[in-house]
Amino acid sequence: MTQVTSTAPSWHKDTFRRFSVAPMLDWTDRHCRTFHRIMSKEAVLYTEMITTGAIIHGKGDYLHFNQHEQPVALQLGGSNPDELAHCARLAAERGYAEINLNVGCPSDRVQNGRFGACLMAEPKLVAEGIAAMKAQTDIPVTVKTRIGIDEQDSYEFLLELIDANHEVGCDDFIIHARKAWLQGLSPKENREIPPLDYPRVYQLKQDYPNLHISINGGIKTIEECKHHLEHVDGVMIGREAYSNPYLLAQVDEALYGQSPFTLTRHEVAQQMLDYIDDEMREGARFWHVARHMLGLFQGMPGARGYRRHLSENGHKQDATAQTLVKALEFVS
């Protein structure tokens, strides 16, 4: 098979993925990415984890995204090298900027499907998948992983995964600085209970200086991002980018040296109005978009009224962009 050359724009290698928003199931869909892109032109935005089975056998277009969301990375869930290679080829044809393999999600569903965090115990299988994907495309193919699983949480255990994939040409790793318990903890608990071990990720970068290492887990402020970037190449923020999205308005200036962001929270919301109208004309419901905007005014006077109005009225059949306009009156 001929390798697919990416149609995605080329971003500067030294700064690409310095900051990214994590793939979050049921959250980081194209509406969320459109909203986030208004506030940061540089951040890499990830899809939700999409399984190879959904892409290959599903009825919907699971790879759809809008070009205004770029740079966008596709996160895949799967372990079959042939299926991963097929999906990588499709993703490259669609113009994704990166393909990422999920080796970190601890939910029962992914364990039953033999993908996610349980793959940490099968580094050779992961490497086979990475090699198969890289043979199909020239865009970056990356791995997102935990630092360990269950009782297998030594530094050496992590290195087995890193080494196996580095040998097949993977140079980009995103490390969630917690181990995962595959039994006994829910996905939510796995994001909070296992202790963070940032020094282990820093050590990985010291030991593998030629690899691009990004850190993920518990990061909430731009100052924390700056601190981590003294030790690693990139920072990935998850829940904080969703619950406090206006944080993204600081990213381009603080982490990329770009001009200050000038839009207010109100102006960000107003920029979404035409998008909401367009999407609703195509069959989307208002809440599909507006639910991602609940945290826009976090910490601001009137934020509770804004959230309440959207939450109580956004689900209604007759909700439109004007429902958002009305909610904004609470924070005028």
Closest residue by Cα to residue 331 from 272, 267, 261: 267
Interhelix angle 81-94/123-134, nearest 10 degrees: 40
Q: Are 173 and 214 in contact (CB under 8 A)?
A: yes
Q: Measured between alpha carbons, how far is 324 from 38 in angstroms, rounded to an integer? A: 17
| Cα 139 to Cα 42, 53, 83, distances in angstroms | 18, 22, 17
Query: Does residue 9 have a cis bond before it (omega within 30 degrees)?
Result: no
CA angle 14, 93, 69 (to 5 degrees): 55
Q: Which of the residues 105, 118, 170, 225 is marked catalytic?
A: 105
Closest residue by Cα to residue 319 from 284, 271, 294, 267: 284
Collect all residues with Cβ–Cβ distance below 8 Å to 1 and sequence separation of at least 6.
Answer: 89, 135, 136
Give backbone dihedrals phi and psi of 13, rounded to 5 degrees, phi first.
-60, -35
Closest residue by Cα to residue 88 from 139, 16, 25, 49: 139
Which phi-psi region, left, alpha or beta, contains residue 118 (left: φ > 0; alpha: ψ -120 to 50)? alpha
- Is 105 among the catalytic positions? yes
Residues designated catalytic = 105
